[in-house]
Amino acid sequence: MAQKRAFITGIAGQDAGHLAQLLHEKGYEVFGTLRGQLEASHPRYQAIKNEMPYVNIVLADLLDISALTRAMQEIKPDEVYNLGAISHVGYSFRDPLLTADLTAKGVLNVLEAIRLAGLEKTTRFYQASTSEMYGGLDYNRPEKGYTESSAFHPRSPYGVAKLYGYWITKNYRESYDMFAVSGILFNHEGERRGPEFVTRKISQAVAAIKLGKQDKIELGNLDAKRDWGYAGDYVEGMWRMLQQDTPDDYVLATGEAHSIREFTELAFKEIGIDISWQGEAENEVGVDQDGVVRVAINPEFYRPAEVDFLLGDPTRAENELGWQRKVDFPGLVKLMVEHDLTAKQ
Ligand code: NAP
Ligand code: GDD
């Protein structure tokens, strides 16, 4: 049988790295997009090639439908994973227009590129949808967690843009009979996570504090809760969604929610520091056993509208995809801190 071809947008991202490795191990020929006027000698290009020599790099911006269409015509992928996006919720408030162009309309660009290349009946499409679409407000919080049929109420330009991506994917499935699905993924983290996201910011800071390179970390809202899993587990679920007989959308989550505060405490425990909390609101600090301030609040990291609580119910993915997360919450914190301790030495 011919080798299957997978096309991943945003190959430099966290999930793309895990997914490319998984697909390579499964025997796929892997293609991934990088944006910018890069040549093979460029450090960003080289970094991907050094880490994942098996990835065929395609230069294409998600805003550039001609580049995407050309890529589809030339590669004729069996599976397309649309992971490229502005993915940082806080940043999306600062640049909402670009977020809409990229995180919303970029999805349509990829779907149209598939159709323009005449591949809509053969190429399977995965859209990286998100738990941010639920919004976490009190009135629509199911006790056991959000499911595929929960109501959406996005709270950021990012969440709103992702909702467009979710619906246009469903619309192309219904209109053109495409195998086009959304994975509604709750937060997933790990050693590839960007340092602008809170878990990696904490694990890197804790490692730097242990090594004497930093005194403390500044954070925003400590009391938001997230359903945090390991990214390596979640890419397996993405792949499984594209192997089904019929296309459908699935939630991937752990079924447990923890606060930023809990993540911070556990991360410090990994280096032998017990954090205790003093003060309130913007004046709250986390101090170590010797009274040294290790955590301070910086309101710069607050968001204009916050998602206070996210909890997912992965029952359907477990039953229908046979998907199961392997790494639990303490395991995730440990894995990230240990990785950063080694990397920072
Ligand atoms: P990530 O690390 O931020 O990766 C996103 C990638 O998109 C980056 O490599 C980025 O490239 C690329 N990109 C940005 N602008 C682009 C453009 N104009 N053209 C082409 N590519 C562009 O995100 P991730 O955590 O791996 O997440 C992957 C996808 O899943 C995203 O769509 C995210 O919104 C979604 N998602 C993530 C989670 C999560 O918890 N991680 C949960 C639910 C959904 P540069 O490196 O050039 O900036
Ligand atoms: N980034 C960041 N930095 N967040 C902070 C900080 C800080 O210093 N301090 C507190 N937080 C809080 C945020 O206010 C938010 O409530 C929570 O930590 C998580 O923030 P992020 O790690 O930036 O992730 P996110 O939940 O907003 O978004 C991620 O998960 C979504 C799925 O639910 C991203 O990966 C999105 O792309 C993804 O869709």
Helix (H) or strand (E) holding 333: helix 329-344
The enclosing H or E element of 14 equals: helix 14-25
Q: What is the arithmetic mean of pLDDT over 183-189?
A: 98
Alpha helices in the chain (DSSP H): 14-25, 43-51, 65-75, 89-94, 96-99, 105-116, 157-176, 198-210, 231-241, 260-269, 315-316, 329-344
* Res 37: pLDDT: 87
Is 132 designated active site? Answer: yes
Residue 294 has pLDDT above 90, yes or no: yes
- Ligand 2 nearest atom to the CA of residue 87, by list position: 37
Entry pTM:
0.98
CB 144 within 8 A of CB 254: no
The 10 Å Cβ neighbour count of residue 150 is: 18
Pocket probe for ligand 1: among 15, 126, 234, the residue whose CB has the most ligand atoms within 8 Å is 15
317 pLDDT band (50/70/90 cuts)?
A: very high
Condensed to tens digits (0 to 9), the pLDDT of residues 109-152 reads 999 999 999 999 999 999 999 999 999 998 989 999 999 999 99
Pocket of ligand 2 (CB under 6 A): 87, 89-90, 130-132, 186-187, 196-198, 201, 219-221, 224, 226, 260, 301, 303, 306, 310
Structure tokens at 153: 């109420």
Please write the tens of the pLDDT for every residue from 10-20: 999 999 999 99
> How many other β-carbons are positioned within 10 Å of the β-carbon of residue 127?
28
**What span, in angstroms and rounded, lies between the C-alpha atoms of 343 and 345?**
6
Percent of the chain exceeding pLDDT 70 equals 100
Active site residue 246: no
**Tokens representing residue 60 in the block:** 């294409």
How far, in Å, is the centroid of ligand 1 from the Cα of 281?
32
Give residue 15 CA to ligand 1 midpoint distance, Å.
Answer: 8
Question: Separation of 193 CA from ligand 1 center, angstroms?
Answer: 10
Q: Residue 344 has what pLDDT?
A: 75
Ligand nearest to the Cα of 86, by number:
1
> Closest ligand to 297 CA?
2
Mutating to test ligand 2, I would choose from 198, 223, 333 the residue with most ligand atoms within 8 A of its C-beta, which is 198
Q: Which two structure tokens, joined as six digits, stand for 95?
A: 């640049």
Please tell me the predicted confidence (pLDDT) of residue 62. Answer: 98
**Could you give the 3-state DSSP secondary structure of residue 37?**
coil
Residue of 237 and 1 predicted with greater confidence: 237
Cα Rg of the chain (Å, integer):
20
Mutation test of ligand 2: which of 86, 226, 238 has the most ligand atoms closer than 8 Å to its C-beta? 226
Indicate the pLDDT class of residue 229, thresholds 50, 70 and 90: very high
Which pLDDT does position 2 carry in this prediction?
85
- Which ligand has the nearest atom to the CA of 195? 2
pLDDT attached to residue 345: 72
For atom 8 of ligand 1, the residue with the nearest CA is 13
Q: Residue 56 in contact with residue 29, Cβ under 8 Å?
A: yes
